[in-house]
């Protein structure tokens, strides 16, 4: 879902300059990279559970479990 935000002209100029200098495809990509850097979210953290989580099985479906005893 896309949304619109208001920014000052100077801000959009800075975003455009950063977009070009980083070869980003969109302002969204520029903002996400800035936010990830500021918040300390490392790109290598995505998929950190890969290999640790088992695949979803049909018996994992909650509606198929007997939950009446809870």
- The per-residue pLDDT for range 43-67, each reduced to its tens digit, is 665 566 667 777 777 777 776 566 6
- Is position 17 within any domain? yes
- Is position 29 within any domain? yes
Predicted pLDDT of residue 27 = 94
Is the pLDDT higher at 21 or at 50? 21
Where do we find the tokens 């800075």?
A: 14
Kindly tell me if the per-residue pLDDT of 13 is higher than 90. yes
Where do we find the tokens 């935000």?
A: 5
Whole-model pTM: value is 0.56
- Is position 27 within any domain? yes
- Any idea of the CA torsion for 20, 26, 31, 36, to the nearest 10 degrees? -100
- Is position 19 within any domain? yes
Predicted pLDDT of residue 61 = 72
- Is position 23 within any domain? yes
Geometric angle at alpha carbon 38, from 16 and 27, rounded to 5°:
25
- Is position 50 within any domain? no
Per the structure, the complete domain to which residue 32 belongs is given by 1-37
Task: Tell me how many domains the chain contains.
Answer: 1
| Chain centroid to CA 48 | 14
Is the pLDDT higher at 14 or at 36? 14
Predicted pLDDT of residue 19 = 95
């Amino acid at each position: 879902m896309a949304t619109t935000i208001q920014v000052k002209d100077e801000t959009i100029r800075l975003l455009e300059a950063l977009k070009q200098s980083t070869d980003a495809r969109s302002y969204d990509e520029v903002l996400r990279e800035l936010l990830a850097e500021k918040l300390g979210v490392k790109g290598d953290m995505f998929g950190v559970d890969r290999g640790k989580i088992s695949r979803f099985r049909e018996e994992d479906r909650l509606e198929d479990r007997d939950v009446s005893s809870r």
